[in-house]
């Protein structure tokens, strides 16, 4: 069977693996610079112009450190959970249209929204396993907190993702992105706001920072990881952030589709995608800066008593708006 | 209201013949020496006469054949000292922890350093010295020279009585270990945790013990000022001020008025920078990094003022016996006032933030509650006590430096939770700015220093200063040479650290850093 | 419910964070920009040998035992060990002739030990800018 060079290029280089990795590092740099400016300091400035190469430098530094596996840890799960988690996050990108068409052409199908959200939940569960297999009291507490938080935000996440699906009339992410002549963020802004708050919980940023609260449990589920495995775990967290923001962009901001002015449509689509994703990154970073970290029981109160009822309510309102826009 | 004379009369009435002698250490501070078994009754009588009294410190002094134990009780704006002597060969005395639980750590420290056994103490383990210190070597006894102690006997790790999972079903032992991101300095707190609820706390301090009290006995008074300054970096001016005050009380020297005002200025600058450091650190502990960065950026204003005034940002080395070491130039005063005005504007932002920010209040309200009764029984001092409604402040109770001429308010809050303790400190920063501005406006002219002889006449004295963390207590005894006989330091965190056990029990693991940071622990001070 | 009541009043940090993005960062760009230190900073010692009377009070009073009296041309002069010094300047106060003064040099880190000693040189002022 002949190897389709186009396919290989799309999967491995652009908009596939290499693009995702480099883009993740770029988003990490944007995050750190914005957080620094909000806190009236400089952020990375030395590595590369304006410090752009800092996340790459951190990654390479971690790769050169010694890799220790505590002798009590469950070996197989400890070694492979970060890598499998990272691969699942990267694989979920296959269903998102980045330059107008999805990474593997023809991979979209009706219902891939549910598949992507399920993959995200599985990858988060693997993060829990990575903490649990460390057999360290700090990691155990961090891992149980990950699971408790996962239970709390997963259901509202699904419900809120259904709202744009209903408005677009399909569960195909590419179709949802395509049907947005006006981005859904302007049609149903309350759902978008709730989705961003939910995203904060999924990405474990303030105020939902509790699974890896440094001042209480050292590093939570990351405590026993060093060297290469820690590099992969951190990379998995960063890719998760880009994936979450990408899902928000596809569902609410119209994906890569935007006005084309001149030239190749693929270039313009990628540009719009990057721009919209950076907007989401800046908004989540702003939310990180203005809140403190909540306790786990307060997180549960916010999830179950606040997010879930509001998510259900917003879905009901969206159904009303949708029926008003396109009467059956 | 009890007064010191009433208490002395009550003591002499009930104890009668068991009082051996009474003398006056300083005007207003009496010392009553009683027979060894009668000390507990004496302490009980004083605590009953004044229900806001507390044991401030327990000092041990080596007198050759006997060890003299002094119980310094803080009452009615002064200190009444009850003394008892025990022979060195058979150093046993009854513990007072059942009538005053706050004496727990004080007694353990004396037993570690002098070898006195306190009968009836609930937890007579080592406090300050490490586990592998040789058994019968008591460092603060005069005959012991610390130069020849054999160093570490072998390697010891986790001590034998600590397991990860304790025998009582689901309790897991989490060690907020010597190294932990929540602690700035190393101390060990073993938490017994059931899921997320803390059931018990076992503190072990002494990791930063440097033997400063022993070292002070082999240096001259002038060199000792710099030694005690380095007990704590954050409140260094208070240590120097307290030591110099105590030595000046023994010598009978009075400091010129300009020096008193300058001392006040440097002490209040120290208080501002310490409180701002703590408030930023509190933000870090509860995950609020933005607050940390903003607070420490504004703290730089104070560090620049201190650098201009004393020549260094942190360790001031400004106060000496007889006054202060340098003068404040007239042309610097408008600059300092301008910086303080800038700071005051920023303070209004922080006050608004602390009162209205939702996540900050969710993390600190009703967290680590210390009731007023517990605060009095445990003998806590400083903002920890003022946050629970106890109205104590050495600057008002026993004015030193220029505090009897400068008007200021003592801030108290009644809630007793972490939020109240942080708000006390925030309001105190505002008060300190007012005090400094008043002092700069009314700075008297004249000399800023008097020359004092190098040897100090025989005598003893007690000095107290309100450090940022609470009441700092010094006892200095001199024997007529250029070297002090005994320097006793009781730092405010040493008195406060016992309350951590009370406020952490029953709360979440996540509340431990929030309540811990509101006590403002400074372990260099605790361990000396 | 307590959470909802607490969120009623808006925190001032919301606007503050956005306004900080447009302000200059508070970071001081050391080492490209050297800080302006105030006069009277307790930096490296400057020792004037012409004023010294070899009394040795500086070495006696030093709390850190950082001053060593060495023989320079038949007279005892102080040698300052900067790695032990705590920069308290008790030596300057104890000196009856004001032979020791402070300078504003605070960048004392070095890779060779000979930079950390202020030696008394004959007929000159040692310390100072080097």
d(CA C99, CA B181): 47
Tell me if C3 and B325 make a contact (CB, 8 A cut-off): no
The reply to whether residue B311 touches residue C63, judged by beta carbons under 8 angstroms, is: no
Mutate one of B223, B290, B328 to test the C interface: name it (highest C CB count within 10 A): B223
Would residue A268 be called left, alpha or beta, if left means φ above 0 and alpha means ψ between -120 and 50 degrees?
alpha
Q: Where along chain B do its domains lie? A: 4-143, 212-527
Give the residue from chain C lying closest to B224, CA to CA.
C63
For residue B334, what are the contacts with CB-CB under 8 A and spacing of at least 6? Answer: none
CATH topology of domain B4-143: Beta Polymerase; domain 2 (3.30.460)
Domain that holds residue A112: 65-325
Angle at B426 between CA A43 and CA B378, to 5 degrees: 115
Residue A94: count other Cβ atoms within 10 Å of its Cβ.
Answer: 18
Assign residue C87 the CATH number of its domain.
Answer: 3.30.70.3270
- Distance between CA atoms of B212 and B69, rounded to whole angstroms? 19
SS3 at position A38: helix
What is the structure's pLDDT at B93?
Answer: 85
C3, C23, C25 member nearest A301 (Cβ): C3
Beta pairing, strands B323-324 & B319-320: antiparallel
Q: Buried b / exposed e across C97-124, counting CB within 10 Å, b at 16+? A: eebbbbeebeeeeeeeeeebebebeeee
Does residue C21 sit at the A interface (CB-CB below 8 Å)? yes
C92 in a structural domain: yes
Cβ pair B353:C61 closer than 8 A: no
Task: Give Cα separations from B134 to A68, B113, B115, B148, B207 (angstroms).
Answer: 36, 12, 12, 12, 17
Q: CA-to-CA distance for B496 and B516, rounded, in angstroms?
A: 11
**Burial label, B438 (beta-carbon count in 10 A; 0-12, 13-18, 19+):** middle
Question: Which of B237, B247, B206, B280 minimizes the C-alpha distance to B487?
Answer: B247
Q: Which two tokens stand for residue B386?
A: 């003022």
**In this structure, what DSSP letter does residue C36 have?**
-
Chains that touch A (3 or more CB pairs under 8 A): B, C
List helix spans (H) across B252-288: 257-285
Q: Which residues of C, range 20-79, sit inside 8 Å of B by Cβ?
A: 26, 37-38, 40-42, 61-64
Mean pLDDT within C41-46: 86
The model's confidence at residue C106, banded by pLDDT at 50, 70 and 90, is confident
What pLDDT does residue B269 have?
Answer: 92
C12:B308 CB<8 A? no
User: Measured between beta carbons, which residues in chain A are less than 8 angstroms from residue B289?
Assistant: 39, 289
For residue A50, the 8-state DSSP code is: G
pLDDT tens for each residue of chain A, 328 residues long: 456 777 777 777 777 788 888 889 999 999 999 888 888 888 888 888 888 889 999 999 999 988 888 887 778 888 888 889 888 988 888 888 877 666 666 667 778 888 888 998 888 888 888 888 888 878 888 888 888 888 888 888 888 888 888 888 788 888 888 887 777 778 788 888 888 888 888 888 877 877 776 666 677 778 888 888 888 888 888 898 899 898 888 888 877 777 777 777 777 888 888 888 999 999 898 888 888 888 888 888 888 888 888 888 888 888 887 788 776 5
Three-class SS state of B198: strand
Domain presence at residue A275: yes
Please check whether residue C27 lies inside any domain of the structure. no
Within-domain flag for A106: yes
Q: Is A49 inside a domain boundary?
A: no
Residue B393 has a CB neighbour count (10 Å cut-off) of 23
Chains in contact with C, where contact requires at least 3 CB pairs less than 8 Å apart? A, B
Burial class (CB in 10 A: 0-12, 13-18, 19+), B321: buried
Percent of chain B exceeding pLDDT 90 equals 14
pLDDT at B208 over 60: yes
Measure the CA–CA gap between A245 and A240, rounded to whole angstroms: 8
Strand arrangement, sheet containing B54-62: B19-26, B29-34, B78-87, B66-75, B54-62
Q: How far apart are CA A212 and CA A145, in angstroms?
A: 9
Decide if B137 contacts B144 (C-beta within 8 A): yes
Residue B500 has pLDDT above 80, yes or no: yes
Token pair 């880009």 is found at A242
Residue C14 lies in a domain: no
> Is the confidence at residue B58, as pLDDT, over 70?
yes
Backbone angles phi, psi at A239, to 5 degrees: -65, -35
Quickly state the pLDDT bin for C6 (edges 50, 70, 90).
very low
What is the H or E stretch that residue B515 is in?
helix B511-518
Contact B232/B520 with Cβ under 8 angstroms?
no
The single-letter DSSP state of residue B99 is: T
Does residue A248 contact residue A195 with C-beta atoms inside 8 Å?
yes
- Which of the four pLDDT bands, split at 50, 70 and 90, describes residue C3? very low
Residue C62 domain-assigned (yes or no):
yes
**Could you tell me the pTM of the whole model?**
0.89
Domain B212-527 has CATH 1.10.645.10: yes
Over range B17-34, report the average pLDDT: 81
DSSP H or E run through B85? strand B78-87
| Residue C49 forms part of a structural domain | yes
Pairing, β B19-26 against β B29-34? antiparallel
Beta-carbon contacts of residue B271 (< 8 Å; ≥ 6 apart): B428, B429, B432, B467, B468
- How many structural domains compose chain C? 1
Chain-chain contact of A40 with B285 (C-beta, under 8 angstroms): no
Domain count, chain A: 1
Please judge whether B510 and A290 are an interchain contact, meaning their C-beta atoms are less than 8 angstroms apart. no
User: What DSSP state is assigned to residue A225?
Assistant: -
pLDDT in tens, A159-209: 888 888 888 878 888 888 888 777 777 878 888 888 888 888 888 887 787
CA distances to A114, A131, B351, B411, B443 from B344, in Å: 55, 46, 11, 17, 21
| Total residues belonging to chain C | 130
* Phi, psi for B235 (deg, rounded to 5): -110, 40
DSSP state of B445: P
* Contact at CB, B297 and C9, closer than 8 angstroms: no
Could you say which of A42, A289, A305 has the minimum Cβ distance to residue C25?
Answer: A42
As a dihedral over the C-alpha atoms of residue C61, residue C65, residue C67, residue C71, rounded to 10 degrees, the angle is 100
Return d(Cα A201, Cα A291) in angstroms, integer. 13
Residue A32 forms part of a structural domain: no
- Antiparallel, parallel or unpaired: β B323-324 and B117-119: unpaired
pLDDT above 60 (res B462): yes
| Mean pLDDT value across chain A | 83
Q: What is the pLDDT of residues A81-120, one digit of tens each?
A: 888 988 898 888 888 887 766 666 666 777 888 888 899 8
Q: What is the mean pLDDT of residues B339-351?
A: 89
Residue B255 has pLDDT above 60, yes or no: yes
In a domain, residue A292? The reply is yes
């Amino acid at each position: 069977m002949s190897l389709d060079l186009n396919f290989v290029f799309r999967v491995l280089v652009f908009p596939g693996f290499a693009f995702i990795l480099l883009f993740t590092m770029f988003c990490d740099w944007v995050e750190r610079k914005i957080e620094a400016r909000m806190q009236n300091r400089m952020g990375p400035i030395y590595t590369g112009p304006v410090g752009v190469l800092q996340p790459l430098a951190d990654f390479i530094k971690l790769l050169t450190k010694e890799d220790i596996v505590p002798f009590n840890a469950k070996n197989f799960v400890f070694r492979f959970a970060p890598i499998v988690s990272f691969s699942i996050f990267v694989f979920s990108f296959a269903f998102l249209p980045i330059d107008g068409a999805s990474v593997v052409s023809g991979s979209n199908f009706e219902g891939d929204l549910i598949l992507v959200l399920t993959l995200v939940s599985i990858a988060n569960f693997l993060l829990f396993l990575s903490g649990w297999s460390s057999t360290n009291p700090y990691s155990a507490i961090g891992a149980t907190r990950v699971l408790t938080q996962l239970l709390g935000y997963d259901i509202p996440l699904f419900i809120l993702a259904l709202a744009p699906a209903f408005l677009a009339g399909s569960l195909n992410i590419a179709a949802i992105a395509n049907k947005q002549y006006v981005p859904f963020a302007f049609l149903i802004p309350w759902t978008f706001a709730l989705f961003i708050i939910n995203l904060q919980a999924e990405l474990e940023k303030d105020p939902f920072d509790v699974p890896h609260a440094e001042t209480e449990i050292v590093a939570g589920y990351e405590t026993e990881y060093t060297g290469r495995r820690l590099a992969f775990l951190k990379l998995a967290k960063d890719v998760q952030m880009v994936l979450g923001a990408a899902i928000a962009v596809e569902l609410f901001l119209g994906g890569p589709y935007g006005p084309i002015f001149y030239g190749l449509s693929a270039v313009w689509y990628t540009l719009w995608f990057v721009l919209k994703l950076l907007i989401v990154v800046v908004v989540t970073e702003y939310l990180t800066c203005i809140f403190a970290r909540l306790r786990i029981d307060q997180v549960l109160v916010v999830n179950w008593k606040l997010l879930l009822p509001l998510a259900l309510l917003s879905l009901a309102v969206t159904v009303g708006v949708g029926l008003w826009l396109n009467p059956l | 209201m009890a007064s010191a004379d009433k208490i002395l009369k009550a003591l002499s009435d009930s104890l009668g013949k068991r009082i051996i002698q009474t003398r006056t250490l300083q005007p207003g501070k009496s010392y009553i020496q009683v027979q060894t078994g009668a000390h507990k009754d004496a302490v009980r009588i004083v605590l009953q006469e004044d229900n806001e009294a507390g044991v401030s410190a327990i000092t041990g002094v080596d007198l050759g054949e006997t060890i003299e134990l002094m119980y310094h009780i803080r009452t009615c704006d002064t200190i009444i000292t009850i003394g008892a002597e025990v022979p060195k060969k058979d150093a046993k005395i009854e513990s007072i922890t059942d009538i005053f639980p706050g004496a727990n750590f004080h007694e353990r420290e004396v037993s570690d350093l002098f070898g006195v056994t306190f009968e009836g103490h609930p937890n007579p383990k080592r406090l300050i010295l490490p586990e592998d210190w040789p058994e019968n070597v008591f460092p603060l006894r005069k005959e012991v020279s610390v130069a020849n102690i054999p160093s570490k006997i072998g390697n010891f790790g986790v001590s034998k009585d600590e397991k990860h999972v304790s025998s009582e079903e689901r309790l897991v032992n989490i060690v907020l270990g010597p190294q932990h991101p929540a602690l700035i300095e190393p101390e060990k707190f073993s938490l017994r945790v059931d899921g997320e609820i803390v059931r018990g706390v076992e503190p072990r301090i002494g990791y930063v013990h440097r033997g400063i009290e022993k070292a002070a006995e082999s240096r001259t008074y002038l060199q000792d000022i710099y030694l005690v300054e380095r007990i704590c970096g954050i409140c260094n001016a208070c240590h120097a001020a307290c030591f110099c005050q105590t030595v000046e009380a023994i010598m009978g020297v009075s400091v010129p008025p300009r020096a008193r005002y300058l001392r006040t200025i440097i002490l209040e600058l120290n208080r501002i920078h310490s409180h701002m450091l703590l408030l930023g650190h509190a933000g870090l502990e509860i995950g609020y990094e933005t607050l940390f960065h903003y607070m420490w950026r504004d703290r730089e204003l104070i560090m620049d003022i201190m650098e201009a005034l004393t020549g260094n940002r942190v360790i001031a080395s400004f106060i000496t016996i007889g006054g202060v070491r340098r003068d404040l130039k007239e042309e610097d005063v408008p600059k300092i006032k301008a910086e303080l005005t800038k700071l005051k504007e920023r303070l209004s932002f922080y006050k608004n933030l602390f009162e209205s920010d939702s996540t900050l209040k969710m993390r600190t309200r009703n967290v680590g509650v210390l009731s007023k009764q517990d605060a009095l029984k445990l003998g806590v001092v400083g903002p920890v006590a003022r946050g629970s409604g106890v109205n104590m402040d050495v600057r008002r109770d026993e004015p030193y430096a220029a505090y009897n001429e400068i008007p200021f308010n003592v801030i108290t809050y009644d809630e007793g939770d972490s939020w109240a303790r942080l708000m006390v400190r925030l309001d105190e920063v505002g008060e300190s700015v007012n005090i400094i501005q008043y002092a700069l406006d009314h700075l008297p002219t004249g000399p800023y220093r008097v020359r004092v002889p190098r040897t100090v006449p025989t005598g003893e004295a007690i000095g107290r200063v309100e450090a940022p963390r609470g009441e700092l207590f010094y006892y200095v005894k001199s024997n007529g040479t250029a070297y002090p006989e005994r320097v006793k330091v009781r730092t405010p965190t040493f008195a406060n650290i016992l309350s951590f056990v009370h406020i952490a029990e029953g709360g979440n693991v996540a509340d431990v850093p929030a309540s811990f940071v509101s006590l403002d622990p400074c372990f260099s001070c605790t361990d000396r | 419910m307590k959470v909802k009541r607490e969120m009623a009043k808006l925190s001032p940090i919301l606007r503050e964070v956005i306004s900080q993005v447009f302000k200059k960062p508070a970071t001081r760009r050391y080492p490209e920009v050297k800080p302006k230190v105030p006069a009277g900073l307790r930096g490296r010692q400057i020792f004037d040998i012409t004023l010294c009377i070899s009394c040795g009070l500086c070495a006696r009073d030093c709390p850190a035992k950082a001053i060593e009296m060495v023989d320079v041309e038949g007279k005892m002069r102080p040698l300052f060990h900067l790695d032990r010094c705590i920069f308290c300047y008790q030596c300057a106060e104890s000196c009856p002739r004001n032979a020791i003064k402070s300078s504003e040099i605070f960048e004392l880190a070095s890779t060779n030990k000979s930079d950390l000693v202020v030696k008394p040189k004959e007929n000159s002022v040692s310390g100072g800018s080097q």
